[in-house]
Amino acid sequence: MYRLQGRTALVTGSSRGIGRAIAFALGRAGAKVLFHGASDSPALRDAVAAARAEGIDAEPRVADLGDAAACDRLAEDCADADVLILNASVQSYGHVEEFDDAEFERMVRTNLRSSFALVRSFAPRMAARGWGRIVSIGSVNQAHPAPRLAIYGAVKAAQRNLMLTAAKEWAARGVTVNTVAPGVIATDRNAKVLSDAAFADPLRETIPAKRFGTPEDCAGIVLALCSDACSYVTGADIPVDGGMSL
Ligand SMILES: NC(=O)c1ccc[n+]([C@@H]2O[C@H](COP(=O)([O-])OP(=O)(O)OC[C@H]3O[C@@H](n4cnc5c(N)ncnc54)[C@H](OP(=O)(O)O)[C@@H]3O)[C@@H](O)[C@H]2O)c1
């Protein structure tokens, strides 16, 4: 039920962090995995090499999703993928009045426009084949705004809404579209702030599970959503946050 033999998955932002853990979970379930990063980095090469060492059929893909043309080329290059994980994102901190238009546009282009363009490209092809899986990695911040993350939270909320529309549009043609919303997951992105005990300790106390998550904590539910076990699950929004959003 949870096997993905014969499927090909593109996982954006899988050179590191949550995307890497998801890519390994899908690969271990039998999928061919297209690992992706913004650049041809040592991290991307290491992820692909480690996956191949496990016997996973893995290939690298490079595209800066903030570059619309590069994003569209990625979509063409991965056209036969049956599984699309929208994981890559950029995140920047500031009070509303500190952000300029350029930063707003960068975050919208990199996080939201790329997701829109990839769904627009992939979903019709999946529907034509009668089977497809799209999982967007959202955030607790899509529904619970955090201070100094105004653009990030707004863009995650928009992405969640986009997934709802896509779920409705393709449900009858074998394509499911779901969101997984992590809480605080220890990755490169927040390594610096989480190493500050004065910040991290009170934050940990707000989480009913009393710990931060790991990238692997996010991978199992994504695998389930991508498998035949979840054929009848679409439009869902599943928190992976140790109860933080309760
Ligand atoms: N960590 C958390 O606590 C947390 C909480 C809620 C939601 N999330 C969401 O979970 C997802 C993964 O987060 P993470 O913490 O694992 O992130 P991360 O460790 O910062 O890794 C980010 C990944 O995205 C890629 N990426 C960054 N900018 C890109 C660009 N312009 N074009 C293409 N790829 C780009 C990176 O590629 P390179 O290696 O090439 O830079 C990397 O693979 C994100 O959508 C994030 O918003 C994370």
> Would 129 be classed as within a structural domain?
yes
Render pLDDT for 26-71 as a digit per residue (tens, 0 to 9). Answer: 999 999 999 999 999 999 999 999 999 999 999 999 999 999 999 9
- Ligand 1 pocket check: which of 189, 195, 203, 211 to mutate, most ligand atoms within 8 Å of Cβ? 189
Ligand 1, atom 1: closest residue by C-alpha: 185
Domain encompassing residue 37:
8-186+214-240
Torsion over CA: 177, 183, 186, 192 (sign): positive
* Of residues 14, 105, 22, 93, the one with CA closest to residue 60: 14
Per-residue pLDDT reduced to its tens digit, 123-158: 999 999 999 999 999 999 999 998 899 999 999 999
CB–CB of 29/3 below 8 Å? yes
Domain of 95, CATH number, reads 3.40.50.720
CB 186 within 8 A of CB 194: yes
Distance 173 CA to ligand 1 centre (A): 30
pLDDT of residue 242: 98
pLDDT tens-digit profile of 78-131? 999 999 999 999 999 999 999 999 999 999 999 999 999 999 999 999 999 999
* Domain count along the chain: 1
8-state DSSP, 90: -
In a domain, 173, yes or no: yes
Is 47 a domain residue?
yes
- For residue 102, being part of any structural domain is answered with yes
State pLDDT tens for residues 153-201: 999 999 999 999 999 999 999 999 999 999 999 999 999 999 999 999 9
Q: Which atom of ligand 1 is nearest to the CA of 152?
A: 47
Give me the pLDDT at residue 224, please.
Answer: 98
User: Is residue 84 one of the residues assigned to a domain?
Assistant: yes
On whether residue 170 sits in a domain, the answer given is yes
Domain presence at residue 164: yes
pLDDT for the residue 155:
98
Distance from C-alpha of 97 to C-alpha of 32, rounded to nearest angstrom: 44
Instruction: State the closest ligand 1 atom to the C-alpha of 111, by its place in the atom list counted from 1.
Output: 45
Q: How far is the CA of 189 from the centre of ligand 1 (A)?
A: 7
pLDDT at 32: 98
| Residues classed as catalytic | 152
For position 165, what pLDDT does the model report?
98
Residue 21 is encoded by which pair of tokens? 């853990």
Question: What does the alpha-carbon distance between residue 50 and residue 151 come to, in Å, rounded to a whole number?
Answer: 35
Q: Is the pTM of this model over 0.85?
A: yes
**Per the domain annotation, does 200 fall within a domain?**
no
